[in-house]
Amino acid sequence: MFGKPNSPVRPLYSPLTPVILDALAKKGVEASMNAEKPPVAHNVDLEEIAKFEAVASRWWDTEGEFKPLHRINPLRLGYIAERAGGLFGKKVLDVGCGGGILSESMAREGANVTGLDMGAEPLAVARLHALESGVELNYVQQTVEEHAAQNAGAYDVVTCMEMLEHVPDPRSVVQACAQLVKPGGHVFFSTLNRNAKSWLMAVVGAEYVLRMVPKGTHDAKKFIRPSELLGWVDETPLEERHIIGLHYNPLTNRFKLAPSVDVNYMLHTQAKKPS
């Protein structure tokens, strides 16, 4: 259904990787203690950042806490590449990039990728893995609102995957993404629907029963209904192009794309062209 990547992402990982990354993170923390701290941006949840920084050294462990992200990444990449008409030669921004799983895979498709995140440790992991992998891309520690103020209309494609439910003001993120994309460019969002089924599947099932992700990863109150996300999109120059669900079958242990958006879903939007 979707075009396959030219080359699979083959993460570099060994038992020594967490030790190396933890040591680098400690050095970074020690250096930052003597540096002047920048003001905390308004749309940042420090508790959310801390959760992901605590496990950042294991971001590229395909059997660790981020195993689900590694498993769904080919689906995300295929959907984005097909809906955007390919990624080769395009300028792409990955908002909330974390350790760089999606960012690297888009760079391998020939895109000029910038990964954006507010977590220092995940970005350190992302930079090191890109260096080890020989993948060229850029990582920036900055909020999307700050980046939009400096780079309006700079990108052909903007991705914001599994990030909206981790910030205090997701509407602001949607608006910033709309500012960053060129007229006719593409913006992709993915998040979790807010209902009883998604709570059972994403919180009870994934965190407590199957233990696919660490307990406390998600707060069901922060999940976002498609109608809410589409309402924010309608306030911008973006237009809805396609929406699809991302499903996990515990019996087959497989993920797939399907029409139902009851739990996880992805939204493709496109910026209006001048008339």
Show binding-site residues for S-adenosyl-L-methionine.
Answer: 76, 96, 117, 161
What six digits make up the tokens of 208?
Answer: 């407590």
In the DSSP assignment, the letter for residue 118 is: S
Give the burial string for 174-189 (b: 16+ CB within 10 Å, else e).
bbbbbbbbbeebbbbb
- Strand locations in 127-225, DSSP E? 138-141, 155-161, 181-192
How far is Cα 175 from Cα 140, in angstroms, rounded to an integer? Answer: 19
Q: Backbone phi, then psi, for 36, in 5-degree steps?
A: -70, 130
- Strand locations in 118-262, DSSP E? 138-141, 155-161, 181-192, 238-249, 254-258
* Residue in 215, 129, 128, 225 with CA at minimum distance from that of residue 170: 225
SS3 at position 143: coil
In the DSSP assignment, the letter for residue 198 is: H
**Beta partners for residue 115, in sequence order:** 94, 139
Annotated binding residues, as ranges? 76, 96, 117, 161
Instruction: Return the sign of the alpha-carbon dihedral for residues 263, 266, 271, 272.
Output: negative
What six digits make up the tokens of 127?
Answer: 């930079």
